[in-house]
Amino acid sequence: MDSDSTTINEEQSNDISNALNKKYPNILVALVVANRTTKHAALTQVTARKISANTLTISYVECQGNMCNLNSVDLSFSPPIKSANNNDAIERIVKDGKRAMEAQFVWLVTEQLSLLILIVTSLLGYATLLLGEDGLQKAMDSVPIVGQIISTFLGSYYFIVVRASFYFAIVAHAAEAIYIAIMLRTRANLGYLACLKWFALICCVGYPMTKKALMFTSQPKENKLD
């Protein structure tokens, strides 16, 4: 153990773990999501088990379809916790959890579904707001194969469908973003800036980011993360 770190005994470990499980369940979920190897399985029964100056152990049940497994993850503290005081240890863990809950705009290009939705929505917006019906018709005429495919599936009403799809996507994404921002503030108790980042991200692509954010709103917490 690091010479500057302290020793957390079993009683202190139990007290800290119980406090985390009671007041900060979504912090524990965020830490598991950030550190597990399986990224898309559903999580339940996320529980802090023990803590030392160097490591926090969290157990969780991970389900894919009808298959569920009990797993655990050991999170290392670098530098180690230097005080056995419950509040000091919890403050350190909450800070790490807040960081794990942060929305990352890089997800828009690193996750395939998000990137696809972003591209499609951008193209719909380009056609609706910049090209207009005449411009879209000229673009289709310049690429006959694309024009033929669009005409086959959408007929003469293609621009109405394109325009309606774009505005539907904008309204749907905005509605999702508002809902999630409220949930993150009231149930995950994230700060306003963190909620705003999630709002912007969900406005861009909707469902993929909504699904991520919902993992942090499973249970209300007593303490805000401002």
Average pLDDT over residues 3-13: 72
Whether the per-residue pLDDT at 81 is higher than 70: the answer is yes
The answer to whether 46 touches 24, Cβ cutoff 8 Å, is no
Give CA–CA dist 26/112, Å, rounded. 26
Please state, for a pLDDT cut of 90, what percent of the chain lies above it. 32
Whether the per-residue pLDDT at 6 is higher than 80: the answer is no
Please state, for a pLDDT cut of 70, what percent of the chain lies above it. 90
Domains and CATH numbers, the chain: 10-101 (3.20.180.10), 107-214 (no CATH)
Considering 29-38, 157-166, 212-221, the range whose residues carry the highest mean pLDDT is: 157-166
**Per-residue model confidence (pLDDT) at position 2:** 44
The pTM assigned to this predicted structure is: 0.77
- Residue range 84-125, pLDDT digits in tens: 676 778 888 888 888 888 899 999 999 999 999 999 999 999
With b meaning 16 or more CB within 10 Å and e meaning fewer, what string describes 151-167? eeeeeeebbeebbeebe
Structure tokens at 36: 């597990």
**Per-residue model confidence (pLDDT) at position 86:** 66
Q: 41: pLDDT confidence band, cut at 50, 70 and 90?
A: confident
| Measured CA distances, 169 to 107, 165, 202 (Å) | 19, 6, 11
